[in-house]
A = this chain, B = another copy of it.
Amino acid sequence: MTGIRRLAQHLDISIGTVSRALNGRPDVNEETRRRVLQAATELGYVPNQSGRSLRQGTTNIIGFMMQTGTEITGQGDTFFMSVFDGIQTVFARHRLDLVALLCSSSEDPDDYLKRVVARGFADGLILSATQRHDPRFEFLAKRKIPFVTLGRSLTDVGQPWLDLDFEGMAQISIDRLVARGHRRIAVTRPHDDVNLGHLFVDQSARALAGHGLALDPELIFSSLPNEAGGYQVARQLLAMTDRPTAILLVNETIAIGFYRGLSEAGVKPGRDIAIIGRQSPQSHFLSPSLTGFTLSRRDLGIALAEALLATMPAFSHLYPDADPRKVWSEDLIEGESDAHTLPA
């Protein structure tokens, strides 16, 4: 294995400069950094990790905590894998590695986190699936473990967070559908107590109230965030005597199942019911095309990584301008699924 000494000899520059280049310090010019990283790759340089840990108390690993399990499979993967790509772009500058901490759905997330922290192998953490009240925040804050959350919560310990603009999606969708004559508008929400469900449903109700309309409690459909969940919502909706004329789908993965459920009953999106959802790699292949919100998940991953590094003493000086907290708005891609207009 090539150590830092051999790398410095090979490049004929000082060990100190090589070290600073490898650690992403700003006082190394870009050309030198490029040469060092290239040589490190070519010569198979591996840092002496146990030495590093003892000296710096760091492992250079950042954990992304996500939930696994048959019933949530659909959601986690489609969305997160693209976000990981953005996170890794940032971490690669500092030779940090990202690992996904897979919390089984059969385990309590708070217990899982305690165990992961006790194992002590990560320098920082990224939490997803933030709950309405989330005890994980306080657990980490007490132990001074750097973390960032993808998602807000009523729990707030001052940590950085990024979140999608669920309120904006609700407001834009409701305004758009009401303008097209819809009055009975349904919304979906996740089956559990994840914070985004509250944001989305509450804002939908407020947006309707702004038009002098009420959100009928019967038109709030809870669903698992996967294809089967969307199928179930379609079945329930079709069984109603007084069906809604439009619906907002908060999870990106339910659109495929929802379309299938409608299709079995001969109900066509955009002709018989208006649908606004969220785009995903799969939804691009739906027909009629889905009207839905989209964002660059890679950019979201980059911002998430930078917000975390900005809180870590070893990196904070490199990211003075990182947004510690940001609501990411999404763009609406117009498709055919909400073409259904009611007579005025």
Contact = CB atoms under 8 A, between A and B. Distances in A.
B49 A120 contact: yes
A9 interface: no
A324 interface: no
B97 A115 contact: yes
A82 interface: yes
- Give this chain's copy count: 2
A104 B119 contact: no
A108 B92 CA distance: 13
Interface stretch (A126-134, A147-155, A278-286, A331-339): A278-286
Interface in A127-173: none
Contacts of A78: 73, 77-78
Nearest to A260: B285
A107 B89 CA distance: 11
20 contacts: A1-B114, A44-B114, A46-B118, A47-B115, A60-B119, A63-B99, A68-B81, A70-B298, A73-B78, A84-B102, A88-B104, A89-B104, A92-B106, A97-B101, A97-B119, A98-B102, A99-B99, A99-B101, A227-B284, A231-B285
Interface of A: 1, 41, 44, 46-50, 59-61, 63, 68-70, 73-74, 76-78, 80-82, 84-85, 88-89, 92, 95, 97-102, 104-108, 111, 114-116, 118-121, 226-227, 231, 256-257, 259-260, 263, 281-282, 284-285, 287, 298
